[in-house]
Structures are given as C-alpha cells and as structure tokens.
Amino acid sequence: MRQEDIDWKIYHIVVDENSVSADDILSKTGFDRETVTGSLKRLELSSLIEYDGETARILSLHEMLLKCSIKNAAADPESPIIIENGVIKENPNYKR
C-alpha cells in the first residue's frame, strides 16, 4: 500500500475520533507500529495533526493555518514575524 493511502486511512481515523492513541490506530488498521508511527509523523509534518508519541489529535483549521504560517515565516528571513525560543515576535528587520 502506498504511503499516501496509509496516511489517508489513518488521518480519517484521527478525524473520526478527534483524539486517538497509536495503539487504537494499530488495532483499527492492522498496520505494524512502524507504519503507523511513520504515518502519524508525516501527518504532523503536514500540519494536519498533533502527535506526542502516544496520542494523535486533529488540529483545528486555525491551528493548521498558524503552524503553516510559522513554518513559512521561519524559512523566510524577510517575514514580518520571527520565532525566538518558541515565542512569535515581530521581525525588527522587516521592511514594510
């Protein structure tokens, strides 16, 4: 099975449950732990879920947008915001 298909299946389990343990996903899908963990990490990198190593939860639309904005801001030195020690701040070097 392709990774995209696995991710899609697991994403829908997380959506249906809102918050679900990796063990529950294992029992619902029959996939091995490595497959489930890899999928959860990819979904988290895509800013679709939050995964703490045990439990996955769906992100709200606001959380998704904020994570994407922060990720893009961190990669762009000309961004109007910066992140220092986990704190979102106005970029003092940003030229309006």
| Domain regions of the chain by residue span | 3-59
Above 90 in pLDDT, residue 30? yes
Beta carbons of 76 and 94 less than 8 angstroms apart: no
pLDDT at 4: 95
Sign for the pseudo-dihedral over CA of 29, 17, 72, 65: positive
Per-residue model confidence (pLDDT) at position 42? 95
Query: With respect to CATH, is domain 3-59 assigned 1.10.10.10?
Result: yes
Q: Has residue 33 got a pLDDT over 70?
A: yes
Cβ distance 73 to 83 under 8 Å? Answer: yes
Give the largest Cα separation in the chain, rounded. 53
State the helix-helix crossing angle for 3-17 and 33-45, rounded to 10 degrees. 80
pLDDT of residue 87: 76
Note the pLDDT tens digit of each residue in 43-94: 998 889 999 999 999 998 888 888 777 776 666 666 777 777 767 778 787 7
How far is Cα 52 from Cα 61, in angstroms, rounded to an integer? 19
Could you tell me the pTM of the whole model?
0.74
